[in-house]
A = this chain, B = another copy of it.
Amino acid sequence: MHEPSAANRYRTLDLAAVPALLAGLGAVRERLGGRPADWRIREVGDGNLNLVFLVDGPSGSVCVKQALPYVRAAGPSWPMSLERAFFENAYYQAVGPYVGRRIPAIYHYDPDLYCTIMERLSPHIILRQGLIAGNVYPDLAEHMGEYVARACFFTSDLSQGCERKMSGVALFAGNQALTRISIDLIFSDPYLASERNRHTSPHLDALVHELRRDADLKIAVARFGRKFLTQAEALLHGDLHSGSVMVADGDTRVIDPEFALYGPIGFDLGAFFGNLLLNAYAQPGHATAADDRRSQQAWVLGQARRFWLTFRARFLDLWREHGAEGYPGTLFAEAADQARIEAAREDYLRGVFADMLGFAACKMIRRILGFAHVLDFDAIEDAARRADCEAHALEFARRLLKDPGEFASIDAVIDAVSRTA
């Protein structure tokens, strides 16, 4: 499928190796300008899995991202397939034609070094940090709603023949190491007394104990875990939380698609939506005497609402315009058919909405009880105050999973969060 040309050419890059690598790539060298000695290089990786170098030259800059063979946060004792860099690049190539400037430009992929050389985004920051800081990004929801609509629609059965999609499914079914991580960390570990877990203790101990004994909750989570593995609707980013989005004034970019796989569209939607809700629940923890964060919280919830509404409107538009494989005109030629097809499309989107809420809830819970937490809560220093925010988020996620019938519309969801956050 993707045999490296020399399996043992892999080596971990460092500040000396990066310029040597880039010097050999004519287009990259030209983009940076000057000579390698003129380039300024910094390692800035703050994620769990990769080295990230920013390289500035006299004329321009690039970003170099290399996969490490272990989970960085855990060290070499937790090995991790390098192939994820291959799948990240494959995802960018697959959605690139449809999503325009919402992803960074990719300049080069080195299959031996599992290393991508791409556009350096500047002055962008990670969305999660911007939201915690109380920043406002007026186009965020529309950019992201349109992004998911386009990336998912154009890789789904609604827009392409089965052959192309099956080839994509075959390719990304190789991304097993990272899918295993999702399965374990989202759908299983948070409900076990696993060594990898942590939570704000002792404040949340009783609630965590209760959640881990809630069979109906765990059955709902297991159902979404199965859906994640079986419902191959579209190519997904696979980890579309607010740490996988970079923002600057008027610009929004999606990064880090190494968990890419074919799955339910609601999984990507739920990752982004759920992380906005986590941020909304965390806002009271960041309140100061000067700013109670109520207006920031209302803005974040407004973005969550617009994210769904934008996705929904764009996805329907794309389906109407390009959905030859959805309800082909050859089969539905009568004028009277159109209203029925429209109703069928709305019905499909009701299912996607329910999936979004279920996956959002799974992801909210795992970020409070599981291995990888979010800075939205972790940055709240006072543990009692943090636990209070986390408890409200957990209780709401539990309602989403156990009483989905309560949440038939986006307004019902946003209202409920507003009342409990």
**CB < 8 Å: which of B1, B161, B176, B218 contacts A162?**
B176
Q: Give the number of copies in the complex.
A: 2
In this assembly, does A229 line the interface, its C-beta being within 8 Å of a C-beta of chain B?
yes
Chain B residues, CB < 8 A from A330: 188, 192
Known: A232-B232, A336-B215. A170 touches B162 (CB 8 A): no
Known: A173-B173, A334-B213. A179 touches B166 (CB 8 A): yes
Q: In the bound complex, what is the Cα–Cα distance between A165 and B158 (angstroms)?
A: 25
* A133-187 residues at the B interface, CB under 8 angstroms: 157-158, 161-163, 165-167, 169-171, 173-176, 179-180, 183
Q: In the bound complex, what is the Cα–Cα distance between A348 and B158 (angstroms)?
A: 26
In this assembly, does A388 line the interface, its C-beta being within 8 Å of a C-beta of chain B?
no
Q: In the bound complex, what is the Cα–Cα distance between A226 and B175 (angstroms)?
A: 24
In this assembly, does A93 line the interface, its C-beta being within 8 Å of a C-beta of chain B?
no
In this assembly, does A290 line the interface, its C-beta being within 8 Å of a C-beta of chain B?
no
Say yes or no: B219 contacts A340, CB within 8 Å. yes
* Interface size of A in residues (CB-CB distance below 8 Å): 47
Identity of the chain B residue whose Cβ is nearest the Cβ of A176 in the assembled complex: B163
Q: How far is the CB of A12 from chain B (nearest CB, A)?
A: 26
Known: A162-B183, A191-B331, A192-B330. A216 touches B340 (CB 8 A): yes
In this assembly, does A395 line the interface, its C-beta being within 8 Å of a C-beta of chain B?
no
Q: In the bound complex, what is the Cα–Cα distance between A216 and B169 (angstroms)?
A: 30
Write the A170-212 contact mask toward B (1 if CB under 8 angstroms, else 0): 1101111001100100001001100000000000000000000
Chain B residues, CB < 8 A from A15: none
Chain B residues, CB < 8 A from A183: 162
Write the A228-248 contact mask toward B (1 if CB under 8 angstroms, else 0): 011111000000000000000
**CB < 8 Å: which of B1, B174, B188 contacts A331?**
B188
In this assembly, does A223 line the interface, its C-beta being within 8 Å of a C-beta of chain B?
yes
In this assembly, does A344 line the interface, its C-beta being within 8 Å of a C-beta of chain B?
yes
Chain B residues, CB < 8 A from A169: 169-170, 173
Say yes or no: B334 contacts A219, CB within 8 Å. no
Say yes or no: B179 contacts A219, CB within 8 Å. no
Say yes or no: B174 contacts A166, CB within 8 Å. yes
Write the A17-44 contact mask toward B (1 if CB under 8 angstroms, else 0): 0000000000000000000000000000
In this assembly, does A414 line the interface, its C-beta being within 8 Å of a C-beta of chain B?
no
In this assembly, does A337 line the interface, its C-beta being within 8 Å of a C-beta of chain B?
yes
Say yes or no: B179 contacts A173, CB within 8 Å. no
Say yes or no: A173 contacts B176, CB within 8 Å. no
Residue among A157, A174, A330, A331 with max Cβ neighbours from chain B (10 Å):
A331
Q: How far is the CB of A345 from chain B (nearest CB, A)?
A: 10
Say yes or no: A162 contacts B191, CB within 8 Å. no
Q: In the bound complex, what is the Cα–Cα distance between A327 and B326 (angstroms)?
A: 34
4 A-B pairs with the lowest CB-CB distances in the bound complex, closest first:
A170-B173, A166-B173, A215-B337, A215-B340
A-B contact pairs, 16 of them (CB 8 A): A157-B230, A158-B226, A162-B176, A162-B183, A165-B229, A166-B174, A169-B173, A170-B171, A191-B331, A192-B331, A215-B336, A215-B341, A219-B344, A222-B327, A230-B231, A232-B232
A sample of 12 more A-B contacts (CB under 8 A), given A169-B170, A218-B337, A232-B232, is: A157-B229, A162-B229, A165-B229, A167-B176, A170-B173, A191-B331, A192-B331, A215-B332, A216-B340, A222-B327, A230-B232, A230-B233
